[in-house]
A and B are shown apart, each in its own frame.
Chain A
Amino acid sequence: MGSNVLLLLRTLRLSTSPWNVYRHTTDKKKRRQVVGGAIGFALLYAMVMAYCILMCVGYGMVGLVGAVPVLCALTISALAFVFTIFKTNGYLFNFREYDLLMSLPFEARTVATSKFLYMYVDSLPWYASISVATMVGYGCFAHPAIFVYPAWLVLSLFLPIAPMLAAAFLGFVFAKISTGFKRTSIIQTVLVFAFVVVCFASRFFIEDLFRNNKVQQTLETVSQATNDAANVYLPARWFANAIAGPSMLDALLFIGTSALLFAVVLAIVGGSYKSINSALRSHAASKSYKMGAQRQRSVVGAIAYKEFKRFTGSTVYMTNGVIGVGLSALFGLVTLVVGFDKIVAMVTHDAPFDHAILQPAIPFMVYFFVGMFATTACSPSLEGKNYWIVASLPLQKKTLYQGKMLFNLCLTLPSMVFCTLCLCISAGVPALNTVLYVVLGIALCAFSTAWGCVCGVKHMRLDWENEVEVIKQSAAVALYMLPNMFVVMGLMVLVVFLGLSIDHRLLTLAFCALVTVLAGLSYRRVIALCR
């Protein structure tokens, strides 16, 4: 089995490797794309490493360098869990080459194992960049013995395994449940969404428990908080002890547990792998359609509808697209029921300040959720092998992207408006300010849609093997998401700060104008790219 797993893993890597394309293509444009992509990802890795090193410097300067190994373990583990839960469907289940692989003389478990390892190897550069950067930061401040460095590097390779297995197992459970329903994509999306909501809720619940028991007083330092988390998640504790101890027992416990989990989870997943994939890939065919009256749509409307069907037809696409808008709608509803002040008090741990100063940040708070994903960033690439359809139809490229933008607006605007209104009502925002916040929210959605489309069109990639490559790992999505997230967080702080000295209405109007201009410029860029 081992050699088959490696053979399959090698082939899967090769089939999606840009380096393989570079080696074997004579097309200069493709070669340039590969080089460009490599440079882009190198820059993103460098950004992650720089961020981690700066974090270590911060810890080192306040004398908390001892917490760095735990922090590294927790960061990698959390990222591995989150990335995997959104990728399991598409990588482990419901992938395109399933028929091809299963028709070859491989056991189902071999295919499942190689698919899991592929997921692991594929995301390893991200975890490695965090590990190496934190190791360097730790080395600079802690001056550990020389053997710590190779031990760190080797042990950190095992860090993503347990959380990835946990996420893969959850994905497996969700997939197994969804096979009992007709609309598997929607069921899986609902389950993932419910799980994320439960995680969010339990985080606050646990914090609340801590506070009630006055445990908060013991969590005075970041170091203690990190240690507390490591005590809950034992692999992180074992990793830190193995490094800082140094403890061979902890190292063995860490590796042994990861290996054991690997064997157990993949044995369970492998057992039902064929039946789940068969159920996910079979479609209920009624064969009872009777021609009736048909409805005519506008061209842009038809494209938007097509996008809607594409969206609801893919678990990976829908899960990623719905999480932000779903969370924002839930956030709005919860705020309306619980009260704006109570939510702010919970998040800021009862910090003594006038909550009204946060009001101008309401549209940005909502946008933080709603704007975390734009379908326009990945939908141009998602055309993939279907691209011939839109290319051979009498469509201006402009019209095609207008349709895609319309769909994203239809997806994001309702929850943006709903959540903003809920927050405004709950916070007792005056009527005129509420209208302005809603207008700013709409402008932010327009910007997100158009800017996402710029990224999507400029970095369109049609030759993908698995849609996860487009939705989770493409340059277009990374370029949209990362700057967008950081800029919004910065804007939230800025708007609160400016709101202390500038009239809130004037401030919101100014931001409305700025965001509208940015949205307009992004839209013009889309049109220019269409030419």
Chain B
Amino acid sequence: MGNNVMLSIEHYSKSYGAGKKAADDVSLTVCGGDIYGFIGHNGAGKSTTIRAVVGVLDFTEGLIRIDGHSVADEPVACKRVTAYIPDNPDLYESLTGIQYLNFVADVFGIGAAEREERIKKYADLFEITPALGDLIGSYSHGMKQKVAIISALIHDPKLLVLDEPFVGLDPKAAFTLKEIMRDMCQQGAAVFFSTHVLDVAEKLCNKVAIIKHGKIIFSGTMEEFTEGHSLEEAFLEVDHGE
């Protein structure tokens, strides 16, 4: 996959109601191998952008491409190579964990042996295998998050999009997820995620975009952004400067 462009957002805007823009002329590029952090206040437009990228939210202004395919024109082709983990994973509560994972695997057309191997690998990593036979309705938030993560990894995506992925995860699961993200990027995939945890972003990301009131106020490499300061200091400086 190399350093090819995995995700490009060009002049994307989204309005709700009477003209107020939740995302305003957002442009950024995520390449294979990037772990791209998307940072901003609550309500800054992170989730609105992420939901448009993964094809959950319709949009009319701008162009979003995933692996060369337009999200608006070829949504299914885009979703085939993408995986999405929302901030609050509302999963099908009447399915068991394993039934849900099999459902996602069926949709991606993953063969029986292959899915068994991947589910086993990730379920063991997240220490959730014994609970896979239970209803998702009985899971804690963190367990649901783990199932959502496994379902996202089941088809070996080229682009992993995560909205606040570390909320609700126990320290070990958070560490495992970070390792998986790094591992994916080493193999040429890209990770694009929003977070409020600046320490995590600083240690994990090679690129970062800051969004405020729906507008991108910075996008580039972590080094360009921090210029020797901590990410927290740089973020607060940019935030006040705006």
Question: What chain B residues lie within 8 Å of A310 (beta carbons)?
Answer: 92, 94
Question: What chain A residues lie within 8 Å of B196 (beta carbons)?
Answer: none
Question: What chain B residues lie within 8 Å of A313 (beta carbons)?
Answer: 93-95, 135, 137
Cβ contact of A391, chosen from B55, B80, B130, B135, cutoff 8 A: B55
B123 within 8 A of A: yes
Question: What chain A residues lie within 8 Å of B20 (beta carbons)?
Answer: 26
Q: A309-B92, A309-B94, A392-B54 are in contact. Are A291 and B86 (CB under 8 A)?
A: no
Query: Within residues 260 to 306 of chain A, which ones have a CB less than 8 A from any CB in chain B?
Result: 282-299, 301-303, 305-306
Question: What chain B residues lie within 8 Å of A285 (beta carbons)?
Answer: 131, 134, 138
B129 within 8 A of A: yes
Cβ contact of B102, chosen from A282, A295, A314, A389, cutoff 8 A: A295
Instruction: Give bound CA distance, A284 to B133, whole Å.
Output: 11
Q: Are B80 and A394 in contact (CB under 8 A)?
A: yes
Q: Are B109 and A289 in contact (CB under 8 A)?
A: no
Q: Are A287 and B106 in contact (CB under 8 A)?
A: no
**A-B contacts, CB under 8 A, total:** 128
Instruction: Give bound CA distance, A306 to B151, whole Å.
Output: 15
Query: Within residues 69 to 115 of chain B, which ones have a CB less than 8 A from any CB in chain A?
Result: 76-77, 79-80, 82, 84, 86, 90-99, 102-112, 115
Q: Are B132 and A27 in contact (CB under 8 A)?
A: no
Question: What chain B residues lie within 8 Å of A348 (beta carbons)?
Answer: none
Majority-rule SS of A interface residues: loop
A25 within 8 A of B: yes
The distance from the CB of B17 to the nearest CB of chain A, in whole angstroms, is 3
Cβ contact of A394, chosen from B18, B107, B132, cutoff 8 A: B107
Q: A26-B18, A295-B112, A395-B76 are in contact. Are A289 and B56 (CB under 8 A)?
A: no
Instruction: Give bound CA distance, A395 to B108, whole Å.
Output: 9
B92, closest chain A residue (CB) = A386
The distance from the CB of A113 to the nearest CB of chain B, in whole angstroms, is 27
A351 within 8 A of B: no
Question: What chain A residues lie within 8 Å of B135 (beta carbons)?
Answer: 283, 313
Q: Are B94 and A388 in contact (CB under 8 A)?
A: no
Q: A392-B55, A394-B76 are in contact. Are A286 and B134 (CB under 8 A)?
A: yes
Cβ contact of B138, chosen from A283, A289, A305, cutoff 8 A: A283
Q: Are B131 and A289 in contact (CB under 8 A)?
A: yes
The distance from the CB of A385 to the nearest CB of chain B, in whole angstroms, is 4
Q: Are B104 and A287 in contact (CB under 8 A)?
A: no
Q: Are B91 and A291 in contact (CB under 8 A)?
A: no
Instruction: Give bound CA distance, A284 to B106, whole Å.
Output: 27
Question: What chain B residues lie within 8 Å of A301 (beta carbons)?
Answer: 106
A531 within 8 A of B: no
Please name 18 pairs of A and B residues whose Cβ atoms are closer than 8 Å in the assembled complex, sorted by A: A283-B134, A289-B97, A289-B131, A289-B133, A294-B105, A297-B102, A305-B103, A306-B103, A310-B94, A313-B93, A388-B90, A392-B54, A392-B56, A392-B79, A393-B107, A394-B77, A394-B79, A395-B107
User: Which 3 pairs across A and B sit closest by C-beta, in order of nearness?
Assistant: A313-B94, A26-B17, A289-B133
Give 15 new A-B contacts, CB below 8 A, not counting A28-B18, A291-B129, A297-B106.
A26-B16, A285-B138, A286-B133, A286-B134, A289-B96, A289-B133, A293-B112, A296-B106, A303-B103, A303-B107, A306-B103, A388-B86, A392-B56, A392-B79, A394-B76
